[in-house]
Amino acid sequence: MTTRSGIGFDVHPLVENRPLFLGGIEIPYERGLAGHSDGDGLIHAVIDAILGAAALGDIGTHFPSSDDRFKGIASTELLLQTLAVVEQTDWRVIFVDATILAERPILAPHMSDIRRSLAAALRLPSDGVNIKATTTDGLGFLGRSEGIGTLAIATVERKT
């Protein structure tokens, strides 16, 4: 079987009066991620990694922020649409590994829920997804809790 991997990256500022979504889970916090959709940067990075692995461009090509159809949309819906596009090209996702870069909120209590949610959306067993979180030890805009960044790698396998 042929396998390929792709890398995704996303970052969004934290803003007032927005819920915080990561991996399709709402995280209790006083600020949320700004974005045209629900701002779920973890799913956005995963989408970019999947599209990259299948050589299908990036999230902005498929879901441009200039398109009002995607305004406020749940990123899990964008992920499902991405999976449908990728599967039409005879690829399927077999593994995703991601790292969330955030000083605040503390994500440890939510990691298993995020992992389960993302695995379910990807139609993978829980061991087909790995999620980690780290800080920047106070350095930069992430360290000042001005935003959250995410990195992801996805491995896809040719179906035929």
What is the per-residue pLDDT for 48?
A: 98
Collect the ranges in the chain with pLDDT lower than 70: none
What is the per-residue pLDDT for 160?
A: 78
pLDDT digits (tens, 9 = 90+) for 30-51: 999 999 999 999 999 999 999 9
What is the per-residue pLDDT for 159?
A: 87
Average pLDDT of every residue of the chain? 97
The ranges assigned to domains in the chain are 3-158
In CATH terms, the superfamily for domain 3-158 is: 2-C-methyl-D-erythritol 2,4-cyclodiphosphate synthase (3.30.1330.50)
Alpha carbons 41 and 45: distance in angstroms, whole number: 6
Q: What's the predicted TM-score (pTM) here?
A: 0.97
